[in-house]
Structure 1
Amino acid sequence: MNNPRSLAPVTAIETVYSDWTELKRVTFTLRSGMNVTRHVEDHGRSTAVLPYDPVRRCALLVTMARAPVVLAGVEDLLEAPAGRADDRESQEVARAEALEECGVRLGTLERIMEAWTMPAVSSELSALFIAEYSHADRVSPGGGLSEEGEEITVVEQDLDVLWCLLLSGGLPDLKTAFLLQALRLRRPELFSGPIVNVQPALGAEFLNR
């Protein structure tokens, strides 16, 4: 196995499109000396948090219309609350998004990791967290900002049901699936039964609501 390559020299950067996100054409030099050009979608850093109640053993997720998902003709995804970090500190953004989207006030966040979400085409580096909440921390209905046209639905769901959804393919949002697995690894006592025990009826019951 070869050692990881050193930083590739970038020889040119051209902004092709600029609005909510930017599309850039980047030219850099490979190890062989060949110059290549690639396109990069650049909208900055992001953050996501999975709020969970360890007493009632449930988690808060959201659904909303996502343009790529709508375009694919797929039902809305169950997602952990998330947002762009821009120049703000990622924990600050995670708390703000959880309050705005889910109506929950979070305290201490447990950092899982920072991860490249789609390194082939996107510059997005996402900070991922889990965080405890209680019923008393739900201080507003949530739902997002009306001026942004989000129309968010808040879903408080049992952790065992979410785990069954994950194992049966019913939780296809990558950040959410990753955070649920991280929660199971760090807090296994919050889940029932063996880690590979798939109960399709539970997942199907939720999906068919």
Structure 2
Amino acid sequence: MSETPAALPLRVIHRGWNTFGIATLTLPDGSTVPRALEHHGEAACVLLYDPGRRVALLVRQARVGPAFWGESADLDEAPAGGLDGGEPEATAIREALEEAGVHLRQLECVVHAYSMPSVSSERLWLYLAPYGEADRIGPGGGLHAEGEQVLPVEVPLAELADAARSGRISDLKTLVLVQALMLRHPALFAP
């Protein structure tokens, strides 16, 4: 996890996988206000797609957020993980191999953005990446030592586009990446 930036004073309440604290934010008029902040650094996320077979490779894993609301904990999403001091591109490549079993050869950067800027410092680096059958070199599944039990799941691009259009993709980073793929590579979705 990266350290708290010195530009933002933070009174730490808890430090673990995430750091929780009260930050002091300076407003445009010079006044300051306390704001709750969750900090766990930067992450990279990559939507893998096979242009020949017109499928995307997502990973299904249990997530605490949906479970909190009484929804299924199982969430299909693009592979992602913390930078852990590394570079965003290297992290996207590592996570694709760890979680989906795919060796990536090229990445297309979509954006670097904030997941929840009102309460979190998390910066996400989002990528698109083509793959083919020859690039599937491992089983995926995540790192069991880190409590990951990840199931790679191929989804037809037409089905994924329909899910995006109808509001059935509940993971925001995956939704952004699916929409980016639809905008940047529309031929993949043509009948």
Query: TM-score if structure 2 supplies the norm length?
Result: 0.92
| Cα 1:11–1:117 shift into 2, 3 Å | closer
Tell me whether 1:65 sits opposite 2:59 in the alignment. Answer: no
Paired letter, 2:44: T
Q: Which secondary structure does the structure 1 equivalent of 2:75 belong to?
A: coil
Q: Which secondary structure does the structure 1 equivalent of 2:110 belong to?
A: strand
How far apart are the structure 2 equivalents of 1:16 and 1:55? Answer: 50
How far apart are the structure 1 equivalents of 2:125 and 2:8? Answer: 29
CA deviation map 1:52-82 (0-9, x unaligned): 1111111100111111222222122210000
Tell me whether 1:123 sits opposite 2:129 in the alignment. Answer: no
1:28 to 15, 22, 25: 25
8 Å CA contact 1:15, 1:24 repeated in 2: yes
Equivalent residue, structure 1, for 2:45: 48
Question: Residue 35 of structure 1: CA displacement?
Answer: 2.2
Tell me whether 1:14 sits opposite 2:11 in the alignment. Answer: yes
2:108 to 85, 107, 110: 110
- Unpaired runs of 5+ residues, structure 1, are 1-9, 194-209
Question: Residue 51 of structure 1: CA displacement?
Answer: 0.7
> RMSD of aligned C-alpha atoms?
1.4
- State the identity %: 46
Query: TM-score if structure 1 supplies the norm length?
Result: 0.84
Paired letter, 2:86: R
Q: Considering only CA atoms, is the larger Rg found in Structure 1 or Structure 2?
A: 1
Q: Which secondary structure does the structure 2 equivalent of 1:77 belong to?
A: strand
Equivalent residue, structure 1, for 2:184: 186
8 Å CA contact 1:77, 1:171 repeated in 2: no
Q: Which secondary structure does the structure 1 equivalent of 2:57 belong to?
A: strand
Equivalent residue, structure 2, for 1:166: 164
How far apart are the structure 1 equivalents of 2:15 and 2:42? Answer: 16
Equivalent residue, structure 2, for 1:207: none
Equivalent residue, structure 1, for 2:138: 140
How far apart are the structure 2 equivalents of 1:26 and 1:151? Answer: 34
Q: Which secondary structure does the structure 2 equivalent of 1:119 belong to?
A: coil
Greater per-residue strand proportion: 2
Equivalent residue, structure 2, for 1:197: none
Question: Residue 50 of structure 1: CA displacement?
Answer: 0.4
